[in-house]
A and B are shown apart, each in its own frame.
Chain A
Amino acid sequence: MATVIVVTSGKGGVGKTTTSASFATGLAQRGYRTAVIDFDVGLRNLDLIMGCERRVVYDFVNVINNEANLNQALIRDKRVENLYILPASQTRDKEALTKEGVERVLNELKQTFEYVVCDSPAGIERGALMALYFADEALVVTNPEVSSVRDSDRILGILASRSRRAEQGESPVKEHLVLTRYAPERANRGDMLTVQDVLEILGIPLLGVIPESPAVLQSSNAGVPVILEGGSDAGAAYGDLVDRFLGKDLPHRFMEGQKKGFLQRLFGGS
């Protein structure tokens, strides 16, 4: 049975699309047939991050409206086998995502894929609600910063009350915390919330900590999900995250930062 995973956050710009791209790529790399859907109607971006923007012909809304079939709209990734992208529509019609339409497309995807990853738009409006409604599991992407943590908590409330699983009284959506843009040195200095602080407030299991990293911008410039830059800190962190999701018991790296000695602190070296 296929698993539907929503990547969500409430707050905008925290790293949902970055996470969706790397998470889906990582699952496919490890041999699972994976589709990743951009739910951000009107603000298509996943295609750019995945580097397939010039191959978009049909989109999610075309499939919902029966203007194209799923096979016509799905873009097969050129680098990683088993990976397919369903781009968002650029329409300004926010009503384009109907519950029935989304359900039909997801059910069709579930026939052939093992994992369906839904990249949610920001906010708690229709697009975000549709992205999480059919989810079995949720990656709650959070930055160590007050408004992001608060919005994540609101999203947790919505997952617990307005998802299909909640409405049908089934077992709840499985929640995972993904803490991104983490700067251990700043947290150690006391001017940024620590992993522990965020865990204490949100109270859901930690799937991964992704460090603040220049590699993310570089790889988005190139249209390559950062997980494919295995030598980078963020890429390695996403790799661990995927392995952990698949059941490996790995310690969390990138949480400590370098401990600097007196001389190092005095004479620099970042």
Chain B
Amino acid sequence: MGLFDYFRAPPSKSAALAKERLQIIVAHERGGRRSSPDYLPALKKELLEVVRKYVPIDQSQVKVHLDREGGYEILELNITLPDEEQRSGQPR
């Protein structure tokens, strides 16, 4: 490194940008990699039918999410029930 290099414009710090872009793309590709099993849509539909026997809900209120952690798979079910008053008067 000589005299001119020393007085050169400050470094671009492009590595920081590289790291940020990599973190995003790698997280995205890892997400797609764990392909969800093909029974999930059917499971969701049947769940909806069962819950509807008791409480009126619509499709968007059932969330099914599969996660993998180490050697485990975690199936997360989230069913949001409507408010009490919306529910009253509905068939049991």
Contact = CB atoms under 8 A, between A and B. Distances in A.
**A, B in one complex:** yes
Interface of A: 145-146, 149-150, 153-154, 157, 161, 187, 189-194, 197, 200-201, 260, 265-270
A191 B15 contact: yes
A149 B6 CA distance: 31
Contacts of A193: 15, 18-19, 22
B13 A191 contact: yes
Contacts, number: 58
A260 B1 CA distance: 10
B2 interface: yes
Of the listed residues B5, B6, B22, B25, the one surrounded by the most CB atoms of chain A closer than 10 A to its CB is B22
B21 A146 contact: yes
B15 A153 contact: no
A128 B47 CA distance: 43
B90 interface: no
Closest 4 CB pairs of A and B: A190-B13, A197-B19, A189-B11, A157-B33
Contact of A265 (B6, B11, B12, B30): B6
Contacts of A194: 15
Nearest to A171: B71
A149 B15 contact: no
A187 B15 contact: yes
B16 interface: yes
B26 A201 contact: yes
Contacts of B25: 150
A157 B30 contact: yes
Contact of B29 (A154, A161, A269, A270): A154
Contacts of A268: 1-2
Given A150-B22, A268-B1, A190 B15 contact: yes
B3 interface: yes
B88 interface: no
Contacts of B30: 153, 157
A246 B2 CA distance: 43
B12 A191 contact: yes
B57 to A, nearest CB: 35
Nearest to A146: B18
Contact of B3 (A161, A187, A190, A266): A266
Given A150-B29, A157-B33, A191-B14, 17 more contacts: A146-B18, A149-B22, A150-B26, A153-B29, A153-B30, A157-B29, A190-B15, A190-B16, A191-B11, A191-B15, A194-B15, A197-B19, A201-B26, A260-B1, A265-B1, A266-B3, A269-B1
A128 B25 CA distance: 23
B72 to A, nearest CB: 13
B60 interface: no
A187 B15 CA distance: 8
Nearest to B68: A160
A190 B1 contact: no
Nearest to B19: A197
B6 A266 contact: yes
A19 B11 CA distance: 31
Centre residue among B5, B16, B19 by max chain A CB count within 10 A: B19
A118 to B, nearest CB: 23
A197 B16 CA distance: 9
Contacts of A192: 15
